[in-house]
């Protein structure tokens, strides 16, 4: 009897493997109709992106891009709470503490994947239902279509953990209207639902409950062009009335955001916020004062330079910054304070903006020679 059970288990295991949708896999890659579908499948970890997922998604994306039978690519998350809450920061922290190569391999792999999405010749549709932060933004924002829902929660909260808004943040953030991108990057401000569309991060807004139907309709399209896909997404978008009447959450502050966040240095932004003295300005000041001073300076320069760079140039620059952060102190301290001990009181070094020298910042942007990111 035991033998039969064992044999059954072997057969079941084999079936699971042959049909790449093993429910325990961290990422599911399947072909349905003309669509290649990527499903991030770590619901307990809010679909956080790790190196093994990157290593599976990248070659599959490249294969589908070349495959005449694949006409579009869809990416989504499981579990109903998150599309992807970010990169696997804990693993990177552990690796960094012991000088493991993961601190290089993870960022190399992730940024190459961001570039593959940004240059993908096939229409790429990201269903950003639920939490979409950091690395999750990198998996979606560079694609052709980003569909937000009332459950979408967007943020680039990296300055709070001694990092910077990477994954091509230096490319897409300064290209948002006015200084919204600078504001989102420096304060880590969260946007919800329709506001993600209004800020220019999503391209469409669809009710969460309608996503399965939308996906089915996308899969049913016969060798669609980008226009066909846009038409289908537009038809769903137009039918969605959720929060239709709501004004953009930042509307009333746009004038202030555009003037206060247009300064050339962090010190000047802080000075402007103090001088302004409005409740909004003081609230931003309070937020900024909690962030890593080093991260704030790196971020402001990253966005200012990224505004006139190609995505590839931005990713190379960000790789240099990532390696500088891995060698520094604030990243490990930020992760400790926010994610591990959760005491929310990081001890930044240096603790003040004035103490982060221009020379230090310049060094973080310097080319790494043979170690630079190859795209």
Residues with a catalytic annotation lie at 87, 135, 158, 166
Q: What is the DSSP code (8-state) at residue 160?
A: G
**Residue 191 to residue 102: CA distance in whole angstroms:** 31
Alpha carbons 111 and 106: distance in angstroms, whole number: 9
List the 153-155 sheet strands across, edge first. 82-84, 131-133, 153-155, 191-192
What span, in angstroms and rounded, lies between the C-alpha atoms of 48 and 26?
Answer: 10
Contact 131, 277 (CB under 8 A): no
Cα–Cα distance for residue pair 78/101, rounded to 1 Å: 29
Alpha helices in the chain (DSSP H): 2-18, 51-66, 89-97, 102-118, 135-138, 169-172, 180-187, 194-198, 211-220, 226-239, 254-260, 266-276, 279-288, 293-306, 311-327, 330-335, 358-364
Q: Which single residue is written with the structure tokens 């549709």? A: 125
């Amino acid at each position: 009897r035991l033998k039969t059970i064992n044999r059954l288990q072997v057969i079941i295991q084999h079936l699971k493997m042959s049909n790449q949708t093993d429910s325990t896999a961290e990422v599911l890659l399947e072909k349905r109709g003309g669509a290649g579908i990527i499903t991030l499948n770590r619901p307990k970890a809010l679909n956080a992106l790790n190196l093994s997922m990157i290593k599976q998604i990248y070659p599959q994306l490249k294969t589908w891009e070349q495959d005449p039978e694949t006409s579009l690519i869809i990416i989504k998350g499981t579990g109903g709470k998150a599309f992807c809450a970010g990169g696997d920061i804990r693993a990177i922290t552990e690796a960094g503490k012991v000088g493991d190569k993961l601190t290089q391999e993870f960022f190399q792999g992730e940024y190459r994947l961001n570039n593959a999405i940004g240059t993908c010749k096939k229409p790429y549709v990201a269903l950003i239902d639920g939490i979409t932060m950091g690395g999750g933004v990198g998996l979606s924002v560079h694609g052709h279509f980003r569909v937000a829902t009332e459950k979408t929660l967007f943020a680039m909260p990296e300055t709070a953990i001694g990092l910077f808004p990477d994954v091509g943040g230096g490319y897409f953030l300064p290209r948002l209207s006015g200084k919204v991108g600078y504001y989102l990057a420096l304060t880590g401000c969260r946007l919800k639902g329709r506001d993600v569309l209004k800020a220019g991060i999503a391209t469409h807004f669809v009710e969460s409950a309608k996503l399965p139907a939308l996906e089915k309709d996308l899969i049913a399209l016969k060798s669609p062009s980008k226009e066909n896909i846009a038409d289908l997404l537009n038809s769903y978008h137009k039918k969605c009335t959720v929060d239709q009447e709501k004004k953009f959450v930042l509307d009333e502050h746009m004038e202030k955001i555009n003037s206060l966040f247009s300064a050339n240095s962090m010190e000047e932004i802080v000075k402007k916020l103090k001088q302004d003295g409005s409740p909004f300005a003081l609230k931003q000041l309070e937020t900024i004062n909690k962030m890593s001073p080093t991260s704030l300076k790196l971020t402001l320069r990253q966005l200012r330079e990224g505004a006139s760079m190609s995505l590839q140039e931005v990713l190379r620059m960000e790789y240099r910054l990532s390696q500088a952060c891995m060698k520094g102190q604030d990243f490990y301290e930020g992760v400790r304070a926010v994610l591990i001990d959760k005491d929310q009181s990081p001890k930044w070094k240096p603790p003040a903006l004035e103490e982060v020298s221009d020379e230090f910042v310049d060094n973080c942007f310097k080319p790494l020679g043979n170690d630079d990111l190859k795209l």
